[in-house]
Amino acid sequence: MIMRTTFISAALIILAVSTVEAQKPKPLLEVGQKIASVGLVIGGNTDGVGIGGSVEYGQVKFGDVGVIGVGVLAAYQSESRRSFGEQVTVSALPIMFTTNAHFGLAGQPKIGLYGGASMGIVRYSVSHSSAFDTDLFGFGASGTQLGVGVQGGLRFAVSPTAMVHGQLALGDLPLFTAGMSFKF
Q: Give the CATH number of the domain where residue 43 resides.
A: 2.40.160.20
pLDDT at 60: 94
Residue 12 lies in a domain: no
Q: How many domains does the chain have?
A: 1
Residue 124 lies in a domain: yes
pLDDT at 105: 85
pLDDT at 18: 45
Residue 179 lies in a domain: yes
Residue 10 lies in a domain: no
Residue 50 lies in a domain: yes
- The per-residue pLDDT string of the chain (184 residues; one tens digit each, 9 = 90 and over) reads 555 555 555 554 554 444 444 556 778 888 999 999 999 999 887 778 999 999 999 999 988 889 999 999 999 999 988 887 788 888 999 999 999 999 988 888 999 999 999 999 999 998 877 776 655 555 678 889 999 999 999 999 999 999 999 999 999 888 999 999 999 9
pLDDT at 68: 95
Strands (E), the chain: 34-42, 49-62, 66-83, 86-105, 108-130, 139-157, 162-171, 176-183
Residue 7 lies in a domain: no
Residue 17 lies in a domain: no
pLDDT at 20: 43
Query: Helix or strand or coil: residue 47?
Result: coil
pTM of the prediction? 0.77
Residue 20 lies in a domain: no
Q: Which domain holds residue 31?
A: 25-183
Contact indicator for 118, 151 with CB cutoff of 8 Å: yes
Return d(Cα 18, Cα 13) in angstroms, integer. Answer: 9
